[in-house]
Structure formats: C-alpha cells, structure tokens
Amino acid sequence: MTPHPYKNKTGLARLVQALRNSTSGMRAAWRTESAFRQEGTLILALVPLAFWLGHDGMQRAALAGSALLVPVVELLNTAIEYTVDRVSLEPHELSKTAKDMGSAAVLLTLVLCAVVWLAILLPRLA
C-alpha cells in the first residue's frame, strides 16, 4: 500500500503536496475526460463574462460560482466512475446506479448554472 501523501508533512509542505495532488488530478481529467475539457473551455469564457456582466459582487459571484461548480462536480463524477471501475469492471446494478447518480449530479449542476445565468441576464432583455 502506498503511504499517505501527507504523512509527516505539516504547514507549508502539506499545502505544497496538496497543490501537487490537485494539479495532477486536473491534468489527468483534462487528458482523459472530454466533458471536463468542454466544461473547462466553457468556464474560460464564462468566468470573465461573469465579471463583465454582473452588476455587483453578488451577481458576479453567482455567475462565476455557478460556472465553476460544473467542472468541480464533473471531477467528483469522474472520481466516482474511476473508483467503481477500480473495484470491478463487471456489470453490476449498484455500479451502474453509482455512475448514473454522478452523471445526474453533473446534469443538475449544469441546470443550476443555466438558471443562475438566465435569472440574472433575462431581466435585462425585458
């Protein structure tokens, strides 16, 4: 078994190791997950737009936050899928359900993002 990456690390060393692990995870997701690449590309446009279109800090936070939440949930969904596949590639109803629930979480986050953007931007068009 691999030793825990934070064992015997404290303070700055622990933070640096956590940053390395996070960066490694995002790189792996970018390399292997087309949905993560698509969502990542989308937030590169949406986050700057959020700061341009938001009238105040709350609107900017809602617009940017809802956009940034999508790849966060995608990463969690991917982690679930990888974990299920690590346990067994054999078809099983619980495995399917776990993966479907992760996918549903991504869908709900996309809906949330759309609702936030529409709620803030549509009144301006009326």
Phi and psi torsions of 90, nearest 5°: -70, 135
| Residue 53 located in a structural domain | yes
Pairwise CA distance, residues 49 & 116, whole Å: 13
pLDDT of residue 124: 87
| Residue 8 located in a structural domain | no
Q: pLDDT (tens digit, 9 = 90+) per residue, 64-101?
A: 999 999 999 999 999 999 999 999 999 999 999 999 99
Mean pLDDT of 28-33: 97
Pairwise CA distance, residues 25 & 6, whole Å: 16
| Residue 6 located in a structural domain | no
**What CATH number has the domain bearing residue 112?**
1.10.287.3610
Pairwise CA distance, residues 106 & 108, whole Å: 6
| Residue 25 · residue 75 · CB < 8 Å | yes
**37: which 2 tokens?**
């690449």
Active site residues: 74
Please count the structural domains in the chain: 1
Could you tell me the pTM of the whole model?
0.87
Q: pLDDT (tens digit, 9 = 90+) per residue, 41-66?
A: 999 999 999 999 999 999 999 999 99
Local structure of residue 4 (DSSP, 8 states):
P
